[in-house]
Amino acid sequence: MQKKKIKEILQGKVDDKVTAHGWVRTVRDQKTFTFIEINDGSTLKNLQVVMDGNVPNLATGASLIVHGHLVESPGKNQSVELRASEVHVIGTCDPAKYPLQKKRHSFEYLRTIAHLRPRTNTQGAVMRVRNALSFATHLFFQQRGFLYLQTPVITGSDCEGGGEMFRVSTLEKPTDDPSKDFFGKKTYLTVSGQLEAEIMACALSDVYTFGPTFRAENSNTSRHLAEFWMIEPEMAFADLKSDMKCAEEYLKFCVSYALEHCAEDLEFFDKFIEQGLLVRLQNVVDSPFAHIPYTEAIEILKKAPKTFEFPVNWGTDLQSEHERYLAEEYCKKPVILTDYPASIKAFYMRSNPDGKTVAAMDILVPKIGEIIGGSQREERLDVLEKKIEDFRLNKQDYWWYLELREYGSVPHAGFGLGFERLVLFVTGMENIRDAIAFPRFPGHAEF
């Protein structure tokens, strides 16, 4: 017999014989019966188990195997419950010590017990939505003929040029001669798989990566992680317009997939985390994203009936307060900002004819700010060589990137979506440290 998850058991019929596996959420001892709620993470709902008398060591947190049959449930939350014939305590749990004995804990505290927090309703729901969003990602790109490719985690080149890379080394001291290091040169954890994805797109047409990326920026914010997952599609024979179209369709696909397949968890978030979440998400699916060029956005921000902590001027990078104002208050929906000044964007972005801006696009969403960053890539060899010089990068480091522009160069474009920011966007959770099972941020790499 195939092992059934609680999600499936709850859809069973009266008299079905079942075996349930899970962890105890609550135990209520009554004179003749004991009521046990168990959960196995397959659904937010618990399975109610009713047994005669009691078993030793039955306590919150213990793991159980229960045999029995389904009976109609008088409770309003479920139609069936499990009338137990046998209850086996597999792993005991000392109620005097178990940290999750109490019902409600702060998210801050739960982060310190990341080995137990997936047993809470909120973290369980976050993980199920996260799972659905990664499946939706593959569905979306596979249906469109994109190839899923893996790019290296260890790299010798800085894609974003922000100098925010973690060094990878086997040297005794970081100052030792890099030519004596494991790879014979300085290497780092990748900040993005984009440059390698471009190589693949320039042969296989449409590709995407979905992997871990690392940033050593000392950002102690609710939107930054030192290790996060990024989805990076890259398309050959594509310009900024088709890039934006793909990004908007992808975001909408993920949101509608979650609305359809994670209804129970999203209702939970709507009730306990962000009131109005379901309406907000439905609006994302139903209405077209706004489009504003950077230059116009600066004018809007200057005229905003609001004082920002950081002043804005043409040429300054937008802070999260500006991004959120544009998406949350001005547009009241996701907005795509385009044509940023070249000086605040990465070297690989395609120069616009005005000579000052590049064919870049960022998608800003309410509550979060930037969720996607992308661009058309500079495919003209001479222009790219000049940019590498202007950015004071070492041409030798990018010899292969430049050669791509020599042998059958092609207009191409892509973007990167921060997966944990998408999880925040869809669940309404506030802090990115709660959108990944084992968050890494400055001063924190436990578990």
Q: CB–CB of 199/150 below 8 Å?
A: no
Pick from 202, 125, 121: which is nearest to 411 by CA? 202
The piece of 13-21, 40-48, 71-79, 417-425 that touches ligand 4AD (CB under 6 A) is: 417-425
Element (H, E) at 81: strand 80-91
Q: Does 428 bind Mg ion (CB under 5 A)?
A: no
Please count the other Cβ atoms lying within 10 Å of the Cβ belonging to residue 39.
20
Name which of 47 and 337 has its Cβ closer to Mg ion: 337
Burial of 122 (0-12, 13-18, 19+ CB in 10 A): buried
Question: What one-character-per-residue DSSP string does 44-69 give?
Answer: SSPEEEEEES--TT--TT-EEEEEEE
Out of 37, 40, 81, 232, point to the residue binding ligand 4AD (CB under 6 A).
Answer: 232
Q: CB–CB of 353/377 below 8 Å?
A: no
CB of 70 to ligand 4AD, least distance (A): 44
User: What angle separates helix 277-286 from helix 263-272, to the nearest 10 degrees?
Assistant: 120
Out of 61, 411, 414, 428, point to the residue binding ligand 4AD (CB under 6 A).
Answer: 414
CB of 221 to ligand 4AD, least distance (A): 9
Out of 373, 411, 414, 439, point to the residue binding Mg ion (CB under 5 A).
Answer: 373
Given the structure tokens 């009554």, which residue do they identify? 30
Can you tell me the distance from the alpha carbon of 393 to that of 161, in angstroms, rounded to the nearest whole number?
8
The piece of 20-28, 238-246, 305-313, 366-374 that touches Mg ion (CB under 5 A) is: 366-374
Can you tell me the distance from the alpha carbon of 70 to that of 8, in angstroms, rounded to the nearest whole number?
12
CB of 110 to ligand 4AD, least distance (A): 20
The piece of 112-120, 134-142, 290-298, 371-379 that touches ligand 4AD (CB under 6 A) is: 371-379
Q: Does 416 bind Mg ion (CB under 5 A)?
A: no
Residues 173-192 that bind ligand 4AD (CB under 6 A): 192
Spatial strand order of the sheet with 154-155 comes to 154-155, 187-189, 167-168
Pick from 132, 131, 128: which is nearest to 42 by CA? 128
Can you tell me the distance from the alpha carbon of 412 to that of 419, in angstroms, rounded to the nearest whole number?
23
Please count the other Cβ atoms lying within 10 Å of the Cβ belonging to residue 94.
11
CB of 370 to Mg ion, least distance (A): 6
Q: Does 372 bind ligand 4AD (CB under 6 A)?
A: yes
Out of 158, 379, 420, 434, point to the residue binding ligand 4AD (CB under 6 A).
Answer: 420
Using H for helix, E for strand and C for coil, what is the string for 203-227?
Answer: HHCEEEEEEEEECCCCCCCCCCCCE
Q: Does 414 bind Mg ion (CB under 5 A)?
A: no
CB of 219 to Mg ion, least distance (A): 13
The piece of 33-41, 114-122, 365-373, 384-392 that touches ligand 4AD (CB under 6 A) is: 365-373
The amino acid that residue 440 corresponds to is R
Q: Does 159 bind ligand 4AD (CB under 6 A)?
A: yes
Name which of 228 and 269 has its Cβ closer to ligand 4AD: 228
Measured in degrees and rounded to the nearest 5, phi and psi for residue 310 equal -105, 125
The piece of 178-186, 199-207, 208-216, 368-376 that touches Mg ion (CB under 5 A) is: 368-376
Name which of 181 and 328 has its Cβ closer to ligand 4AD: 328
Residue 374, contacted partner among ligand 4AD, Mg ion, none, CB below 5-8 A by kind: ligand 4AD
Q: CB–CB of 374/416 below 8 Å?
A: yes
Q: Does 228 bind ligand 4AD (CB under 6 A)?
A: yes
Burial of 172 (0-12, 13-18, 19+ CB in 10 A): exposed
Taking the CA atoms of residue 436, residue 437, residue 438 and residue 439 in that order, the dihedral angle to the nearest 10 degrees is 20
Q: Does 340 bind ligand 4AD (CB under 6 A)?
A: no
Out of 48, 120, 151, 194, point to the residue binding ligand 4AD (CB under 6 A).
Answer: 194
Binding-residue total with ligand 4AD (CB under 6 A): 22
Residue 225, contacted partner among ligand 4AD, Mg ion, none, CB below 5-8 A by kind: ligand 4AD
Residue 155, contacted partner among ligand 4AD, Mg ion, none, CB below 5-8 A by kind: none
Name which of 168 and 337 has its Cβ closer to ligand 4AD: 337
Q: Please give the residue ranges that form the binding site for Mg ion (CB under 5 A).
A: 373
Q: Please give the residue ranges that form the binding site for ligand 4AD (CB under 6 A).
A: 159-160, 192, 194, 215, 224-225, 228, 230, 232, 370-374, 414-418, 420-421
